[in-house]
Amino acid sequence: MELHFSLLETITFATAILWLGMFLRRRIKVLSKFNIPAPVIGGVLFALFSWGVKSYFTFDFDMTVKDPLMIAFFTSIGLAASLRMLKQGGPQVFIFLVVASVLVVLQDAVSVVLSKLVGIHPAIGMLAGSITMSGGHGTGAVYAQLFEKQFGLSGCMEVAMAAATFGLVAGSILGGPLAKRLIEGKHLAKSNFDPDKLKYNVSEEEEAVNTQPDEPVTSSLLMITIMQFCIAMSVGTIIFKALTALGVQLPTYLCALFVGIFIRNFSDITRLYKVHLRLVDTIGSVSLSLFLSLALMSLKLWQLADLAGPMALILAAQTVMMAFFAYFVTFRFMGRDYTAAVIAGGHCGFGLGATPNAIANMDAITSNYGPAPRAFFVVSIVGAFFIDIVNAIVIQTFVSFL
C-alpha cells in the first residue's frame, strides 16, 4: 500500500519528525553531548520504521520545497558572510581559514585515493571526505543527491548521513584529549588559574565586530528578509542557466550563495539597505532543519550494508589525519600558545563534525584550563560560514575531475 502526502502534509510530517528528534535529544544525554542534529535523530528513527514496515507500506512525499529549502540554507551562508567581518577579525582569522582550507583539500585527496585503492566509486569515497567532514549533514545531503543524479549511484544519501554522524562523534571525542596533550605537554596552561575568574564574555569581542546592531523583528522586516532570500535564489538560478549555456558546471546553490555574498557586501559598502543578520541566520537554520528532515525521510538504511567496510577504512583515515593535522599544523600556524591549543581542539570539532562540536570542545577545554575568547571568535567565524564557501568550491573542483 502506498501512502501519499501532499505538500502541507509532508511539511507536517517533517516537522513532527524534527520535533521527535528535539524531544529525544533533550532527554538522552549522549545525543546532546555529541551535538547530533535533531533532524538526524528523528529522520533515522523514521527510516528504521519505514524499513520495518517496507513490505506493508511505502511512503510517497511531495518534495516540491526540498531543493528550494536547501538553496535557501546556502543563501543564508552567503548573506551572513560579511567580508568586512573577515577583515576585522584580524590576521588570525585569515590564517585559520587558510589552514582549514588546506585540511579540506587533504580530506578530499585522502578519500579519493583510498576509494580508488579499495575499489569503490570515488564519488562515494568523497562523501566521506570534506563533504561530510569539514561540511556536515547539510552539505552531505546536497552532494549525495547530486551524485545520485550525476553518477547514477544508489545509497549515497545513506553513506553521507552515516559519515557525517560518525564525524560528529569522532570530532567530539578527539578534540578534548588532543588539546589536553598539547596544553599539558607544552605547559601552556594559564599559571594564574583561578576557577572564580572563569566567567568571561565571548560576545564582547563579537559585538565589537558587529557594527550595526539588529533592529527588532517585525512582520515587514521578515517579509523583506524573505525577499532578499528569494532574489538571491532567483538570480542564482538565472546565473546557473547562463553558465550552463556557456558550458560551465556550477551548481545552483553555489550561484545563490555568491549572489547572497554580493547582496550582503553591497549593503555593507553602500548602506543603501540592511541585511538583518539574526533573521537571516534563523531562516537559514530553519530551512536546513526542514531540508534535512525531508531528505532523511526517504533514507533507505538497508543500502548501507555493502559499503560498510570501505567506508570504515576511509573514516578511520580521516580521523587519524585530523588528529595529526591539528597537532602539527593547526597548533603551529596559530602561534603555539594556549589559544592555539584551544583552536586546535576546536578544529578537531568542526573539521570532522560541525561548528557546534567545535564550540562544545572549546568550552570543555577552557573550563579546565582557563578562558580563551579569541579562540572562540576565530573558530566560530571561520567554522560558521567561510569554511563552507571554501569547501563548496574545493568539492566542485574535485568533482569536475572525477
Partner 1 sequence: MITLNLDFIETLTLASILYWLGVTLCRRLKLLGRYNIPPAIVGGLLFALLRAALVNTVSFKFDLVLMQPFMVVFFATIGLGASASLLRRGGGVAFKLLVAATVLLLLQNALALGIGRLAGVQPALALLAGSATMTGGHGTGYVFARTVSDVFGLSSATEVAMACATFGVVAGSLIGGPLAEKLIGKYKLAAAAPEGEYRKVICPDVFSFGDTDAEISNHSILMTIFQTAFAASVGIWGEGALRNCGVTFPGYAVALVVGAVLRNVGDHVPLFRVRPRIVHYISGASLSFFLALALMSMDLISLKGLGMPLLIIMFAQTALMAVFAWFVTFRMAGGDYQAAVVSAGHCGFGIGATPNAIANMEAVCAKYGMATDAFFAVAAVGAFFIDLVNVLAVNLLIQML
Give residues in contact with partner 1 (CB under 8 A): 6-9, 11-12, 15-16, 18-19, 22, 64, 68, 216-217, 219-220, 222-224, 226-227, 230-231, 233-234, 237, 282, 285-286, 289-290
Q: How far is the CB of 6 from partner 1 (least distance, A)?
A: 7
Q: Specify the residue, 57 or 193, whose C-beta has the smaller distance to partner 1.
A: 57
Q: How far is the CB of 226 from partner 1 (least distance, A)?
A: 6
Q: Specify the residue, 105 or 231, whose C-beta has the smaller distance to partner 1.
A: 231
- Pairing, β 2-4 against β 58-60: parallel
Q: Specify the residue, 281 or 337, whose C-beta has the smaller distance to partner 1.
A: 281
Whole-number Å distance between alpha carbons of 42 and 36: 11
Q: How far is the CB of 39 from partner 1 (least distance, A)?
A: 9
H/E element, 332: helix 331-333
DSSP state of 195: G
Q: Specify the residue, 12 or 154, whose C-beta has the smaller distance to partner 1.
A: 12
Whole-number Å distance between alpha carbons of 155 and 311: 12
Q: How far is the CB of 239 from partner 1 (least distance, A)?
A: 13
Q: Specify the residue, 166 or 291, whose C-beta has the smaller distance to partner 1.
A: 291
Q: How far is the CB of 168 from partner 1 (least distance, A)?
A: 18
Answer for the pair 229, 46: CB distance below 8 angstroms, yes or no.
no
Whole-number Å distance between alpha carbons of 277 and 129: 30
Q: How far is the CB of 61 from partner 1 (least distance, A)?
A: 12
Answer for the pair 299, 161: CB distance below 8 angstroms, yes or no.
yes
Return the axis-axis angle of helices 252-270 and 387-401, rounded to nearest 10°.
150
Grid-cell match 568533482, residue found: 399
Q: Specify the residue, 92 or 289, whose C-beta has the smaller distance to partner 1.
A: 289
Nearest to 142 by CA among 256, 292, 39: 292
Q: How far is the CB of 357 from partner 1 (least distance, A)?
A: 17
Q: Specify the residue, 15 or 267, whose C-beta has the smaller distance to partner 1.
A: 15
Q: How far is the CB of 336 from partner 1 (least distance, A)?
A: 37
Computed on alpha carbons and rounded to an integer, the radius of gyration of the chain in Å comes to 21
Q: Specify the residue, 118 or 227, whose C-beta has the smaller distance to partner 1.
A: 227
Q: How far is the CB of 292 from partner 1 (least distance, A)?
A: 11
Reduced to 3 states (helix: H, G, I; strand: E, B; else coil), residue 374 is helix
Q: Specify the residue, 83 or 226, whose C-beta has the smaller distance to partner 1.
A: 226
Grid-cell match 551572513, residue found: 80
CA 144-150-153 angle, to 5 degrees, is 60
CA 114-118-123 angle, to 5 degrees, is 60
Cell numbers that stand for 84 in this block? 568586512
Q: Specify the residue, 230 or 316, whose C-beta has the smaller distance to partner 1.
A: 230
Whole-number Å distance between alpha carbons of 71 and 237: 10
Phi–psi pair at 57, nearest 5 degrees: -125, 145
Answer for the pair 296, 302: CB distance below 8 angstroms, yes or no.
no
Q: How far is the CB of 245 from partner 1 (least distance, A)?
A: 17
Cell numbers that stand for 317 in this block? 583515515
Cα 28 to the center of its chain, rounded Å: 23
Answer for the pair 384, 355: CB distance below 8 angstroms, yes or no.
yes
